[in-house]
Amino acid sequence: MRRVTTSEESPATRRTVLCGAALAALGLTAAACGGAGSDDAEGPEKPVDLGEAEAVPVGGAKLYPEQKMLVSQPGKGDFKGFSAVCTHQGSLLGEVDGDVAVCPLHGSRFHVDTGKVAHGPATEALPSVPVKVRDGKLVAGPES
């Protein structure tokens, strides 16, 4: 006698296993990279101490990966703060290269003094985050 199986009982095919693995990998990548709408994109929810103000060069910028912040100093004592989360797919910016901050995921570049896109694929500027100097130290975030 021949047994009839339903789709629930049929063994997994190689295609099914590979498709499942691919979807799982995509899910993990999306989770690890965040998204353009991720909560971290706007910056810290409470004031965050970034350390000595002199660590940010005049005419340059510094990334603070742990705090997900980018701080520039276009002119002496004039500090600008931005989220260091790329607006394209939510990856953390990887380095400052002259007057731009670079996302390692797809190569988006942002002007460090304005947060505006210098080179895509990102199309939206980095969100601005308030930065103040208190006792020679940078403090970023709301009510900083």
Selection from 127, 126, 122 nearest residue 89 by Cα? 122
pTM over 0.75: no
Looking only at the bridges linking them, the beta strands covering 137-140 and 131-134 are: antiparallel
Beta-strand (E) ranges in 2-144?
48-52, 61-64, 69-75, 78-83, 95-97, 100-102, 109-111, 117-119, 131-134, 137-140
Look at residue 45 in the predicted model and tell me its pLDDT.
80
Span 95-117, mean pLDDT? 94
Residue 99 has pLDDT above 90, yes or no: yes
Percent with pLDDT over 90 in the chain? 61
Percent with pLDDT over 70 in the chain? 69
pLDDT digits (tens, 9 = 90+) for 32-56: 444 444 444 566 788 899 999 999 9
